Amino acid sequence: MIGSPLSPPAGSERVAARAHFGNAAPSAPTIKVDFFDEQVRRRRQTWRLSLACFAIALALSIAMSTLLGPLLLAITAGALKLGAWLGCGDACRGVARGIGGFARQDLILIADLFGSHPRSHAAGDFVTRMPAIAIVFLPSLLATACAWLIIRRGLSRAGMLDLVVAMGARAPRPTDTSERQLLNVTGEMALAAGLPAPRIMVVDSSIVNAVAAGVSHEAALVVVTRGLLDQLDRSQVQAVLAHCIGSIGNGDLGVMQSLLATLQTLALFHVILDFPFSRSARRALVGYAAAILAPSASPTRVWEASQGIEAIFDGHVDEPPTLVMIPLLPLRVLILLQRLVLVIWSGMVLGWPLALLWRARRYLADSSAVQLTRNPDALASSLQQFAAHAGVPQGGESRDYLFLHGTQRKSGVFERSGTFMSMHPPLERRLKRLRAMGAALASDNPGRRWPLPAIIVATVFGIIAVPLLVLAALLSLTVVVWSMVMAVFFSLTLGLMFLAWAFG
Partner 1 sequence: MIAIAIACLAYVLWAYNRLVVHRNRIRNAWAQIDVQLHRRSELVPNLVACVKGTIAHEREVLKSIAEMRRQTYIAGSDIAARALAENYLARSLSAVTAEAAPQLRANQNFLALQEELRSSENRIAFARQHYNDCVMRYNAAVSSLPTNLVARLFAFGPATMLQASGSAAG
What is the three-class DSSP state of 85?
helix
Looking at the Cβ atoms of 17 and 469, the one nearer to partner 1 is 17
Q: Residues 14, 170, 316, 429: which binds partner 1 (CB under 8 A)?
A: 14
CA–CA–CA angle 300, 303, 308 (5° rounding): 130
Q: Does 411 bind partner 1 (CB under 8 A)?
A: no
Distance of closest approach, residue 417 Cβ to partner 1, in angstroms: 39
Q: What part of residues 270-299 is at the interface with partner 1 (CB under 8 A)?
A: none
Question: What mask of x and - would describe binding to partner 1 in positions 180 to 219, judged by CB under 8 A?
Answer: xx--xx-xxx-xxxx-------------------------
CA distance 21 to 27: 16
Least Cα distance to 341 among 312, 366, 379 occurs for: 312
How many residues touch partner 1 (CB under 8 A)? 31
CA distance 438 to 96: 68
| Spatial strand order in the sheet of 210-216 | 199-203, 219-225, 210-216
Looking at the Cβ atoms of 34 and 397, the one nearer to partner 1 is 34
What is the three-class DSSP state of 169?
coil
What is the three-class DSSP state of 115?
coil
Q: Does 19 bind partner 1 (CB under 8 A)?
A: yes
Dihedrals phi, psi of 355, to nearest 5 degrees:
-65, -40
CA distance 158 to 170: 19
| Burial of residue 440 (number of CB atoms within 10 Å: 0-12, 13-18, 19+) | middle
Q: What part of residues 373-392 is at the interface with partner 1 (CB under 8 A)?
A: 374
Q: Does 168 bind partner 1 (CB under 8 A)?
A: no
CA distance 210 to 231: 13
CB contact at 8 A, 284 and 311: yes
Looking at the Cβ atoms of 178 and 398, the one nearer to partner 1 is 178
CB contact at 8 A, 328 and 276: yes
Q: Does 447 bind partner 1 (CB under 8 A)?
A: no
Q: Does 1 bind partner 1 (CB under 8 A)?
A: yes
Q: Does 170 bind partner 1 (CB under 8 A)?
A: no
The DSSP code sequence of 125-140 is HHHHHHHHHHHHHHHH
Looking at the Cβ atoms of 159 and 249, the one nearer to partner 1 is 249
CA–CA–CA angle 156, 157, 163 (5° rounding): 85
Q: Residues 3, 118, 320, 446: which binds partner 1 (CB under 8 A)?
A: 3
Distance of closest approach, residue 17 Cβ to partner 1, in angstroms: 5
Looking at the Cβ atoms of 257 and 367, the one nearer to partner 1 is 367
Q: What part of residues 468-487 is at the interface with partner 1 (CB under 8 A)?
A: none
E strands, 155-292, are 199-203, 210-216, 219-225
Distance of closest approach, residue 435 Cβ to partner 1, in angstroms: 23
Question: Which residues, including other chains, have CB under 8 Å from residue 63's CB and lie 6 or more apart?
Answer: 338, 341, 345, 484
* Residue 346 per-residue DSSP state: I
CA distance 99 to 115: 23
Number of H helices, E strands in the chain: 17, 3
CA distance 390 to 430: 16
| Burial of residue 122 (number of CB atoms within 10 Å: 0-12, 13-18, 19+) | exposed
Q: What part of residues 20-39 is at the interface with partner 1 (CB under 8 A)?
A: 20-22
Contact segment (CB under 8 A) with partner 1 among 16-24, 110-118, 249-257, 329-337 equals: 16-24
Contact segment (CB under 8 A) with partner 1 among 13-21, 200-208, 353-361, 466-474 equals: 13-21
Looking at the Cβ atoms of 191 and 348, the one nearer to partner 1 is 191
Looking at the Cβ atoms of 196 and 426, the one nearer to partner 1 is 196
Q: Does 177 bind partner 1 (CB under 8 A)?
A: yes
Q: Does 44 bind partner 1 (CB under 8 A)?
A: no
Distance of closest approach, residue 375 Cβ to partner 1, in angstroms: 11
Looking at the Cβ atoms of 9 and 451, the one nearer to partner 1 is 9
Q: Does 9 bind partner 1 (CB under 8 A)?
A: yes
Contact segment (CB under 8 A) with partner 1 among 63-71, 177-185, 215-223, 397-405 equals: 177-185
The DSSP code sequence of 184-222 is HHHHHHHHHHTSPPPEEEEE--SS--EEEEEEETTEEEE
Looking at the Cβ atoms of 179 and 252, the one nearer to partner 1 is 179
Looking at the Cβ atoms of 306 and 373, the one nearer to partner 1 is 373
CB contact at 8 A, 74 and 500: no
Q: Residues 225, 371, 375, 422: which binds partner 1 (CB under 8 A)?
A: 371
Q: Residues 16, 51, 286, 480: which binds partner 1 (CB under 8 A)?
A: 16
Looking at the Cβ atoms of 1 and 463, the one nearer to partner 1 is 1
Looking at the Cβ atoms of 39 and 417, the one nearer to partner 1 is 39
Distance of closest approach, residue 13 Cβ to partner 1, in angstroms: 6
Distance of closest approach, residue 20 Cβ to partner 1, in angstroms: 8
CB contact at 8 A, 38 and 367: yes
Task: Note the residues at the interface with partner 1 (CB under 8 A).
Answer: 1-3, 5-9, 13-14, 16-17, 19-22, 177, 180-181, 184-185, 187-189, 191-194, 371-372, 374
